């Protein structure tokens, strides 16, 4: 709609035309374009409700990465520490993660059943976890590897899996911890045969073909006086990250009635991510932390 209005120019009054303010308002139709239809090609990847969402990351080509960055065999405490530090960063960003489990070059992050983060879109959850983890891995590299330069960026791939019950989720985490034990026992024996037994990698591989866990434990104990059960728990059990409330005491300056100031201790309860290196296959861990899992009947 056009409105006629008297306007003053250089002291003289002239008639001019001013557009209605309504013409300048932004409408939904103006915000769209003829190309908007391409959004219809996007697929709905929202995760089923009332299920735990697990995002698992795995290092891509980490065998090559570990060799080029001179990781200590069979376990590099620096690398495991960096993985844990990166996982801490992910949990700090997304508090809907109730528990995370990591071993070697992988980490699994479990989102609570009731989470509506990113509207439960699998692609959003996976890419956010992967990008946060990867960037943290690079950012904190020097804290753990000091003089060892990062030669090229690491890469992690991810997947999203849904688990509808507490038993399904516990079985998943048990599977990952059992995998940690199997792989670490093999690697411990393999590299002991190479580093202390003088075998080549090919000879060590041939020696271990067809052996069971008992056979590997016997090789370690009888030939190298190593009791596998005495190996570090972080290597045998992996790393479990959970939220825990811890009391922290800080000093605070307060003003007394006589207007004097005094420092007094103040105790506050804070929720922080804590590391555990323990068995999660049995019931004890879950009985000690009953708040992790949600009621199956909800």
SS3 for 40-54, per residue? HHCCCCECCCCCEEE
196 is in an annotated binding site: no
81 is in an annotated binding site: no
59 is in an annotated binding site: yes
39 is in an annotated binding site: no
3-state secondary structure of 154: coil
156 is in an annotated binding site: no
3-state secondary structure of 250: strand
d(CA 126, CA 159): 7
CB atoms within 10 A of CB 218: 13
DSSP 294: P
Q: CB of 158 within 8 A of CB of 190?
A: no
Closest-CA residue to 279 (of 212, 189, 183, 180): 180
Q: Write b or e for each residue in 227-254: b if 16 or more Cβ atoms lie within 10 A of its Cβ, otherwise e.
A: ebeebeebbbbbbbbbbeeeeeeeeeee
289 is in an annotated binding site: no
Bridge partner list, 84: none
d(CA 18, CA 7): 10
258 is in an annotated binding site: no
Q: What share of the chain is helix, strand, coil (3-state, %, to 5)?
A: 45, 25, 30
In terms of Cβ atoms closer than 10 Å to its own Cβ (0-12, 13-18, 19+), residue 66 is middle
Q: Residues for the chain: how many in total? A: 298
CA angle 282, 285, 288 (to 5 degrees): 135
62 is in an annotated binding site: yes
CB atoms within 10 A of CB 280: 20
Could you list the residues known to form a binding site for Mg(2+), using ranges. 58-59, 105
Binding residues for GTP: 58-63, 104-105
Annotated binding site: 58-63, 104-105
């Amino acid at each position: 709609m056009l409105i006629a209005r008297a306007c003053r120019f250089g002291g003289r009054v002239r008639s001019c035309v001013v557009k209605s303010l309504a013409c300048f308002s932004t409408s939904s139709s103006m915000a769209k374009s003829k190309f908007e239809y391409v959004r219809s090609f996007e697929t709905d990847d929202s995760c089923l409700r009332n299920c735990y969402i697990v995002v698992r990351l795995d290092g891509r080509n980490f065998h090559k990465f570990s060799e080029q960055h001179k990781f200590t065999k069979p376990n590099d405490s620096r690398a495991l520490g960096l993985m844990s530090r990166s996982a801490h960063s992910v949990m700090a960003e997304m508090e809907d993660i109730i528990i995370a489990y990591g071993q070697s070059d992988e980490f699994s992050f479990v989102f609570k059943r009731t989470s509506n983060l990113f509207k439960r879109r699998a692609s959003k959850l996976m890419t956010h976890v992967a990008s946060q983890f990867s960037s943290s891995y690079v950012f904190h590299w020097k804290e753990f590897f000091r003089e060892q330069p990062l030669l090229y960026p690491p890469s992690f791939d991810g997947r999203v899996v849904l688990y509808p019950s507490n038993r399904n989720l516990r079985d998943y985490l048990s599977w990952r911890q059992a995998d940690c034990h199997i792989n670490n026992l093999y690697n411990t024996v393999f590299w002991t045969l190479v580093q202390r037994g003088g075998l080549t990698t090919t000879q060590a591989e041939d020696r271990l073909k067809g052996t069971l866990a008992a056979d590997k434990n016997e090789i370690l104990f009888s030939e190298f006086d190593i009791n596998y059960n005495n190996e570090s728990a972080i290597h045998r059990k992996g790393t479990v990250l959970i939220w825990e409330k811890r009391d922290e005491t800080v000093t605070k300056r307060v003003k007394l009635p006589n207007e004097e100031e005094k420092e007094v201790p103040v105790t506050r309860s804070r929720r922080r991510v804590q590391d555990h290196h323990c068995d999660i296959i049995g019931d004890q861990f879950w009985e000690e932390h009953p708040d992790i899992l949600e009621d199956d009947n909800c």
